[in-house]
């Protein structure tokens, strides 16, 4: 390769200084090092740099016409032309060959939906993902309502003052109706217990005939299967023993009397507001299969949030106690 080729390769002229040649060399190195196969090009650049920065080799090329007349010029001419001492030549740093870049391993998702839609365009994948997410959320909500927990609204005053209905309904005391949550799976694991507030479906024909209403009711469980419920002037007796009912206000007791035998696998319900409750005294006992679930919490309105069983009170206490305990500990630090 001739001197002109070296100059052209680095993009410099014959009167360029060593520093200019060095700068041009590293500028080209940075350019060609980004390629996929820079080895041959970098070797040519290095050879041109070493030739043009060596004062004796450069003098031979410049005086001898690319080395052809170097012998005729003589060593004196070569030495005179080599005006740049080797001490002023900047050292060339070794330039390592670039290591091959390994391709990143392809990401394999464990999500079956991602694998199924991997070949689809991105907008389609996003749309399908949203549709599946929304459908899944709706399915989860419906499943929870059907088998776990379901909300109900108190429409009448039959459970006053335990559960409020909204004015101007007859006997209602609150501006807003209470909203309650019923545990729909609890009775798959145990039997109903006396005193629990339960959501159930009434015997349709009997309830329509007695109360002109039927459907889903909320009442308190009074009589268990096989028991005899007796009311004497508003006081309830179970198998001859008086039932303690602290949830009944004296002003809300009626003065009725009667006796009812609870069949096997049936339950006897009454409202806490006896004077305005159409209950099992009017339309009879309720079969076990008609029970929906136990009312365990009032969640609306906010000032009426409460639990209706002992375990709920314990859960509420833990819910309030643990954060307060942590706050006190953090304040001591």
- CA distances, 98 to each of 2, 9, 28, 101 (Å): 28, 21, 15, 9
The catalytic residue among 158, 174, 277, 280 is 158
Angle between helices 70-81 and 55-64 (to 10 degrees): 130
* The residue to which tokens 């030549």 are assigned: 89
The catalytic residue among 157, 174, 219, 285 is 219
> E strand or H helix at 328, and its extent?
helix 310-332
* The residue to which tokens 């001591």 are assigned: 332
Tell me whether residue 158 is one of the annotated catalytic residues: yes
**Cβ count near 286 (within 10 Å):** 24
Contacts of 220 (CB under 8 A, 6+ apart): 159, 162, 195, 196, 197, 198, 247, 269, 270, 271, 272
Coil, strand or helix at 319? helix
Tell me whether residue 219 is one of the annotated catalytic residues: yes
Active site residues: 158, 219
């Amino acid at each position: 390769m001739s001197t002109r080729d070296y100059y052209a390769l680095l993009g410099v002229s014959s009167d360029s200084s060593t520093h200019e040649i060095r700068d041009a060399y590293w500028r080209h190195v940075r350019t060609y090092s980004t390629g996929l196969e820079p080895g041959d090009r970098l070797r040519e650049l290095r050879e041109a740099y070493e030739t043009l920065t060596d004062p004796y080799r450069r003098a031979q090329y410049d005086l001898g016409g690319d080395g052809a007349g170097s012998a005729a010029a003589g060593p004196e001419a070569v030495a005179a032309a080599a005006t740049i001492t080797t001490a002023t030549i900047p050292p060339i740093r070794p330039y390592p060959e670039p290591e091959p870049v390994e391709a990143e391993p392809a990401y394999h998702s464990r999500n079956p939906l991602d694998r199924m839609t991997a070949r689809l365009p991105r907008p389609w994948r996003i749309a399908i993902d949203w549709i599946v997410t929304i459908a899944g959320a709706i399915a989860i909500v419906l499943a929870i309502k059907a088998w776990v927990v379901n909300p109900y609204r108190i429409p009448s005053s039959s459970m006053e003052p335990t559960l409020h209905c909204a004015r101007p309904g007859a006997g209602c005391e609150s501006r807003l109706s209470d909203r309650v949550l019923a545990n729909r799976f609890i009775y798959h694991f145990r039997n109903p217990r006396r005193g629990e507030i339960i959501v159930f479906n009434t015997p349709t024909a009997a309830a329509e005939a007695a109360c002109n209403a039927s459907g889903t009711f909320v009442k308190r469980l009074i009589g268990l299967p096989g028991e005899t419920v007796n009311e004497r002037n508003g006081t309830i007796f179970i198998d001859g023993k008086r039932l303690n009912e602290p949830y009944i206000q004296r002003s809300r007791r009626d003065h009725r009397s009667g006796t009812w035998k609870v069949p096997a696998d049936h339950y006897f319900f009454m409202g806490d507001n006896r004077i305005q409750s159409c209950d099992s005294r009017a339309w009879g006992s309720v079969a076990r299969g008609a029970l929906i679930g136990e009312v365990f919490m009032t969640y609306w309105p906010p000032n009426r949030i409460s639990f209706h069983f002992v375990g709920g009170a314990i859960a509420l206490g833990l819910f309030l106690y643990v954060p307060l305990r942590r706050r006190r500990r953090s304040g001591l630090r």
